Amino acid sequence: MSSHRHASRRKRCLSELLGTYVLVVVGPGTVAAVSLAQRVPPFEALLIIAFAFGATVALIVLLLGRISGAHINPAITLAHAIAGKTRLEMLALYISFQALGGILGGFTLKLIFDQFGSPADLGTTKLAGGVSVPVGMLLETAGTFVLAMSGFLSSLRIHKKPGEAALIGTTLFLIILALGPLTNASLNPARSLGPALASGYLTNLYVYWIGPLAGGLIAGLVFRFLERPRVGEGTDPIRLC
């Protein structure tokens, strides 16, 4: 998920805003739609939601990856900054535009679902009953770590965007199947922020910021450590955005 180094800052930031906006409208939008369709069995609903997120992220990586890297996630941007794949000067810009995209997406969902006169939660992320805050935070950390590492792996081993998009989208699909019933598998602070603000449900929102950002931080440190010998040999495997 490395970006094209010649893309302007404005173009990169707008790419992150657009990508995050689309992710929130489609992903949480699918969650909200499935919750309104009460006859969908739980496992089938989980499959639909996981596919919606995975396919959307894969498509965004395919279409916007060459512009901004298609992070569309503050935790992924943090991972790339720590790993040295994204310049620190872009960190705050990316996160700001991702958060804005998430908020705009959340309020777009509110406009859509208010028409049904139903108190839809707009796909807001919530901890399942019996899942404590520390456990939820740990699960979000672990899930985000795996997602971030799949992105790093794809950038090193797969040199074609369709392959990168497929790997990242499939990884997200599988993580949502595993963690969705427990934490709703946010793995993305911007994805949680927009629907939470739009719906007014702010309970445990910090779990979906601290957990994913911790996972991104750890992934960045691990990747940087693993890549250190190659850098020492005089090669430069890291592409800066």
Of 11, 197, 222, the C-alpha closest to 110 is: 197
Evaluate the CA torsion angle 173, 124, 183, 190 in order and state its sign: positive
Q: Could you tell me the pLDDT band of residue 232, with boundaries at 50, 70 and 90?
A: very low
In a domain, 241, yes or no: no
**Closest C-alpha among 130, 13, 10 to residue 70:** 13
38 lies in some domain: yes
d(CA 224, CA 214): 15
CATH number at residue 195: 1.20.1080.10
Q: How many domains does the chain have?
A: 1
Token pair for 135: 């456990």
Structure confidence by residue, pLDDT tens digits, 4-27: 555 788 999 999 999 999 999 999
Is 116 domain-assigned?
A: yes
CA atoms within 13 A on the CB side of 11: 13
* Separation in Å, CA 145 to CA 2, 130, 188, 233: 17, 23, 11, 27
Does residue 240 lie within any of the structural domains?
Answer: no
The secondary element (H helix, E strand) that includes residue 32 is helix 9-36
Residue predicted with more confidence, 206 or 163: 206
Which range marks the domain in which residue 223 is found?
9-232
Residues 6+ apart with CB under 8 A from 202: 196
pLDDT at position 115, please? Answer: 82
- The rounded distance, in Å, linking the Cα atoms of 238 and 156 is 9
**Six-digit token pair at 229?**
């010998």
- The token pair at 102 is 């998430």
Q: Record the pTM.
A: 0.90
Query: Is 134 within the bounds of a domain?
Result: yes
Is 21 inside a domain boundary?
A: yes
Domain annotation covers residue 68: yes
Each residue of 213-230: b (16+ CB within 10 Å) or e?
Answer: bbbbbbbbebbbeebeee
Structure confidence at residue 158 as a pLDDT band (50, 70, 90): confident
Tokens in use for 222?
């691990």
Residue 197 resides in a domain: yes
pLDDT tens-place string over residues 124-146: 999 999 999 999 999 999 999 99
DSSP string, 98-135: HHHHHHHHHHHHHHHHGGGT----TT---PPTT--HHH
Q: Which is more confidently placed, 113 or 75? A: 75
